[in-house]
Structure 1
Amino acid sequence: MTTPDSQGQTPQHIAIIMDGNGRWAKQKGRPRAFGHKAGVDAVRRAVRACGNAGVRYLTLFGFSTENWRRPAEEIEALFELLRRFVDADLEKLHKEGVRVRILGSREGLSPDLISIIERAEVRTRENSAFFLNVAFNYGGRDELVRAAKAIAKAAKSGDLDPDQINEELYSSFLDTSDLPDPDILLRTSGEYRISNFLLWQCAYSEFIFLDNVMWPDFDETHLQMALEIYASRDRRYGGVKRA
């Protein structure tokens, strides 16, 4: 669980819903896959910008459990981008001390994709300079259900006393068990919803929506804009306004 930070400090953790790839491509008369490819370049800029700003944790919503409803060719294009990203960037990220983690369910993913995910996680697991988390085949409700099932099994087997269940214990069964909760939930493209992303973890996050920014255009200027908005907020956590 996150410890509330002091007003004006750089956030520890930013979570981003990377929205607008398809519309960005459509505006340019190109297929949606072209937008997703450009979105990978924006991921690189976001990682670099967060590192430069002193943010240590970045969680990106890459592929949701609901995205399986999209056309098969678009899904495969998204999977191929993950493969290419790992192949092209993994060693560079490792040398820079970045730990890569993939949040979400492995169910439904092909063996080769699971192998790529495991390779990225194993290669970088000892790194601690920066933490890059990609929510892939992830849904917030699915995560809560998976955690509830795991807790129920532990209780049924006698490994867990139900009276021990509290917020801290429940958090320990989530995909983000050893991560601080996001200080900022950022969404590009002008949509105003969280789309089943980090439902538990964003209970006290500051929501920032960048109306006129499609994800492929995201850069350090937009991150600084979000940080300025964040610094202007008064995070009270249910208390009173600070003097």
Structure 2
Amino acid sequence: MKEKEVKVFNGNLTSDLKNSLTKVINNFDSYEGGIGKRNKIKIIKVNDRELNIKSFKVPHFANQIVYKFFRKSKAQRSFEYANMLTELGVGTPEPIAYFEYTTAFFFKKSFYVSENLDCDFTYRELTKDFNIPDYDNILRAFTRFTYSLHKKNILFLDHSPGNTLIKKNGDSYNFYLVDLNRMCFKPLDFETRIKNFSKLTIHKSMVEVMSDEYAKCSGENYNKIFDLMWKETEAFQEKFHRKKRLKEKVLGKQ
């Protein structure tokens, strides 16, 4: 069955860039490189603009129907959430466009396009190298950034090590969220806010610093914050490794 192409563009794009970007998307697989297993990300120069193009894998059969008729695609949500974050003054690479390919009854491929952002490092580096210059200030600035998200009623569900880009700006730091398709915008209670830190690190020393800074920002009790943040961190790690062991056991039997 022939696929139908659906395009949504940022209104600031010129027709020339739209046409060039369409050609790139239609020939995405012919471009070399890329990172990612389930989804593929490639940095491609289009009309002298360096763009980050994320190709989402084709959903399984049931979700092809769900995404076709009942739910927004990951690409569309990424585009719309990026625009919402920008309006709220939260850093994220500039959203450019999203593409969807469908048939009459099924959802197929989709792509999210944003401006490529050169960062100095990601939060992940903080979990691996404690000797990064100005380490404590960066971690505390990141905690303040997360607190600002919560104050704006933003719950970033994929708040994990690789999804915050960090760029040094003089003596301060700017933070940019990526991988945006899972977000909520609603008032957040204490437990939800603190649990939002659970995927970020396995190191108790980092949890101690983030708890201390979050207490300073919020005026809430440090011990209460730390006890919950560390409890949720351990719970997430246990769930992660249990799932990993189960997967290895299943694959081992095949």
State the TM-score, normalized to the length of structure 2.
0.25
Structure-1-length-normalised TM-score: 0.26
Q: Which has the larger radius of gyration?
A: 2
